[in-house]
Structure 1
Amino acid sequence: MQITGTCYLAAIGTEPFPVDISKGINGYTVSLPEGCSNVEMTIKLKDNNSQDTPTGVTWTYTKDGRLEEDLEVESDSNGGLSITSDKITALPTGSVSLHLIAHYDDKNLEFDVTIHVRELGDTEWTRSTSSEASPIIIEL
């Protein structure tokens, strides 16, 4: 299984900038930075022999946890599972557990994925003076 995606961060007074969430993945646990927005994640099956993404995969799932209402989960037309959210809480608490079943090649493959919110680190563009942050200039 492969999990990929992005989210956006913005210090006060700066334009939002993308963050690759794959750096926050440990096995089947995804760590999203507190206060992120525009989360777009995709989960796909991978063929261990060829590393290709198989086609014809359908998904069923259940979700449970504090972030359950913040995340939208749906199958996409390419055989992946799409997870999106407009905004994630600015408090480093909460998680959601996803029990996924991939239906593929007359088999049911089950996975448990956890998505949780973690605290921002000191080096993660938490200041508007960061080189990654573009200040918003308002002239009156």
Structure 2
Amino acid sequence: MTGERTIHDPFDSADGDRARQTVMRLLAATGGAAGDFAGEVVAGRRQPYELLAHGPVLDEFVQEARGWWQVIDALPAEDRRRLAAEAWTSLERQVGELATMDVDAVVAELEGLSAVAQDQPAPSRPPRDDEDDDWSERSYLEPL
């Protein structure tokens, strides 16, 4: 099997553990269903692997993933191939960055932004004609 590259899991290391903890702390600081769940993980009452079994969090992730798939599908084929080829290297780099991030400073910044956002009135949106038809496609967090 010449030419094959052994793939090393970047999360299976001390940096990976720090990166996972950083992600949970950052997610906890953002609020919402995923943030509330991450706060439970940070407090030691839940385990990260339970995240996708938690209905409200799963709904939130599925909704967000739909948007990402639309962005990816809109890219030219050449760009998608390049991104796929660079994905593992990018993941390893991001794990390293998360492991060395000053998470306390970033959490403080997120909490500050959250406080400012709570002081702002919620933006209104025009009613949609199909309001009743797509209720199952919306996140429960989306304002009515």
Q: What is the TM-score with the length of structure 2 in the denominator? A: 0.21
Q: Greater helix percent: which structure?
A: 2
- Whose radius of gyration is greater, 1 or 2? 2
Q: What is the TM-score with the length of structure 1 in the denominator? A: 0.21
Tell which has more relative contact order, 1 or 2 (C-alpha 8 A, sep 6+).
2
